[in-house]
Amino acid sequence: MNDRAERSLSNTLVQDGIDRSLEAVRESLARHRLRLRLEEIGTVLAVGDGVARISGLKGVQSEELVAFADRRLGIALNLLPEEIAVVLLDSEGPVEAGDDVRRTGRVMDVPVGGSLLGRSIDPLGRAMDGAEPVRADQRRPIEREAPEIMDRAPVTVPLQTRIQVIDALIPIGRGQRELILGDRQTGKTAIALDTMINQRDQDVVCIYCAIGQRASSVAAVVAGLREAEAMENSVVVVALGEAPPGLRYVCPYAATTIAEWFMEQGQDVLIVYDDLTRHARAYRELSLLLRRPPGREAYPGDIFYIHSRLLERSTHLREELGGGSLTALPIIETQAENESAYIPTNLISITDGQIFLSSELFGEALLPAVDVGRSVSRVGGKTQLPAYREMSGDLRLAYSQYRELEAFARFGTRLDEETRRTLVRGRRVREVLKQGEREPLSVLEQLGLLSAVTEGLFDDVELSRMDEAKRAVRRAVSDRAQQVGERIASGESLASEDRDALVDAARDGVGSIRDE
């Protein structure tokens, strides 16, 4: 083949390649449809203290997410004719006047799913435990409507905390909202943490929501859960104290959305809000920065609404909807045990009861420092195991009477024999209700101790030996009344022979320390 023929063949092959490429481009263009996307862009006018004022976003909706140039997010809260006010959700990276802002067309959402178990995340779904990024198949808005009345079922199953003073006198049901309140450093978080730890073998998923806490405090909670092997069925949602107020404000809503996903799968869930005092303060800070009119104690007028719409999402669903439940334990900090302050009264009116922790009892080392006379459960009594009601029916009244008589006895007045017996019995009741942190009591052990104190078996035991006597009774009932415990845990009433078996075992336990 000569050079001319080779050049002609080469040109033909090149031309064929070009023709095929052009044909492929034509086919691709024929399939392609141009789509115009309308993007609304605004401009930052001013930034300060976690709030940005923006102009130009005329179509933005309330609580819509907006994105800044560096991909930081904010929530539009104030919508005014000339500008909007956006609450920033991230403190990383600067936002300056003149920056562009875009609408996202969606509200704030959070990842949900079983992959979150064992993880610590922030309200945006970012990992806070140093592990790999959170991977979830689904995201849900943090603001959701509470279940309808007709979708709810009665609260009928107890949530066993294994804390005797609560299970016996202030019981909590699955689906209930029980407030924990007290002064600073009285053991509020300790009660909530013990309750979470004691759910690890009861098939209850636990969500711990830390709002405005120190990093060291959250780390201690996570370490406690890991040490007790309870982190595997728990999720920790964290907004630290140095986080922007917007992130602290959305934190409990994000945690509740995560909890609702488990509830809708038919599971029982426990969520702890630690604490809503800091949440209220974060919302007050935002409201004042947004120049909303202040009300009582400088809180905005809708402070009651933000907490009621949060706690109303806790419920027990009907069996047709899976039968799951969401139990809420919100925590509130009081000042000088003032229950009539604005936020405590709001939360007391929203919830189904309260566990009040007394700084006086805490100072006397009577732990947990639960003030039985000021605590109440408006729902849990109906869910309580029948054996508790039969064993501790008069215990609450007797203990309250003892507390009043003790105050009079301090004046050194002469007391009649009946009053002396009441004081002796009351001191033993108080010792029985004392319980150390991370010392859970099974249902059988609790009822054994209650039977011993109600029958007066501890009356002649010296107070210095009460701890020893309690341990002896717990061992005795655990060894000799296992079948009774199984019947009680199944919801059966306490038969007379079962009660006698508990009393006999407790009597032997108390007698064993006398023989030493």
Q: pLDDT tens across 341-384, in order?
A: 999 999 999 999 999 999 999 998 889 999 988 999 988 778 88
* CATH number reported for the structural domain that contains residue 55 in this entry: 2.40.30.20
Regarding whether 323 and 289 lie in a shared domain, the answer is: yes
Contact (CB, 8 A) for 276 and 347: yes
Enumerate residues 6+ apart whose C-beta is below 8 A from 104. 64, 65, 66, 67, 73
Strand 73-79 relative to strand 84-88: parallel, antiparallel, unpaired? Answer: antiparallel
Q: What is the DSSP string of 44-74?
A: EEEEETTEEEEES-TT--TTEEEEETTS-EE
Q: Final residue of a domain: which of 106, 137, 153?
A: 106
Range of the domain at 435: 390-514
In a domain? residue 8 = no
Sign of CA dihedral 422, 426, 428, 429: positive
In the set 126, 144, 378, 471, the catalytic residue is 378
Regarding whether 279 and 399 lie in a shared domain, the answer is: no
In this structure, which long-range contacts are made by residues 166-169, counting pairs with CB atoms below 8 Å and at least 24 apart in sequence?
A: 166/191, 166/355, 166/368, 166/370, 167/384, 167/388, 167/443, 167/446, 168/388, 168/391, 168/392, 168/395, 168/433, 168/446, 168/450, 169/372, 169/375, 169/392, 169/395, 169/396, 169/399
* CATH number reported for the structural domain that contains residue 446 in this entry: 1.20.150.20
Regarding whether 176 and 163 lie in a shared domain, the answer is: yes
In a domain? residue 10 = no
* CATH number reported for the structural domain that contains residue 256 in this entry: 3.40.50.300
Q: Final residue of a domain: which of 72, 106, 140?
A: 106
Q: Is 20 a catalytic residue?
A: no
Position 412 scores a pLDDT of: 62
In a domain? residue 296 = yes
Position 211 scores a pLDDT of: 97
| Residue where the block lists tokens 């562009």 | 100
Regarding whether 131 and 162 lie in a shared domain, the answer is: yes
Regarding whether 271 and 231 lie in a shared domain, the answer is: yes
Position 55 scores a pLDDT of: 92
| Residue where the block lists tokens 């006698």 | 500
Regarding whether 432 and 370 lie in a shared domain, the answer is: no
Q: What is the DSSP string of 326-352?
A: EEEEEEEE-STT-TTSHHHHHHHHHSS
Regarding whether 150 and 97 lie in a shared domain, the answer is: no
Q: Would the pLDDT of 6 be above 60?
A: no
Regarding whether 285 and 429 lie in a shared domain, the answer is: no
Position 14 scores a pLDDT of: 55
Q: Would the pLDDT of 9 be above 60?
A: no
Q: pTM, whole model, 2 decimals?
A: 0.89
Q: Would the pLDDT of 30 be above 80?
A: no
In a domain? residue 195 = yes
Regarding whether 117 and 86 lie in a shared domain, the answer is: no
Regarding whether 154 and 273 lie in a shared domain, the answer is: yes
Q: pLDDT tens across 435-480, in order?
A: 998 899 999 999 999 999 988 899 888 988 999 999 999 999 999 8
Closest CA to 271 of 286, 254, 283: 254
**Mean pLDDT value of segment 165-187:** 94
User: How many other β-carbons are positioned within 10 Å of the β-carbon of residue 170?
Assistant: 23
Regarding whether 56 and 135 lie in a shared domain, the answer is: no
Question: Higher model confidence: residue 114 or residue 406?
Answer: 114
Q: pLDDT tens across 280-303, in order?
A: 999 999 999 998 999 889 999 899
In a domain? residue 153 = yes
Q: Final residue of a domain: which of 369, 384, 399?
A: 384
In a domain? residue 60 = yes
Q: What is the count of structural domains for the chain?
A: 3
Regarding whether 489 and 366 lie in a shared domain, the answer is: no
Q: How far apart are CA 42 and CA 66, in angstroms?
A: 10
In a domain? residue 29 = no
In a domain? residue 171 = yes
Q: pLDDT tens across 89-110, in order?
A: 987 667 888 889 999 888 999 9
Q: What is the mean pLDDT of the chain?
A: 89
**Largest pairwise CA distance in the chain:** 135
Number of alpha carbons in the 13 Å side-chain half-sphere of residue 189 = 18
Percentage of the chain beyond pLDDT 90 is 59
Q: How far apart are CA 382 and CA 172, in angstroms?
A: 9
**Mean pLDDT value of segment 491-516:** 86
Position 11 scores a pLDDT of: 61
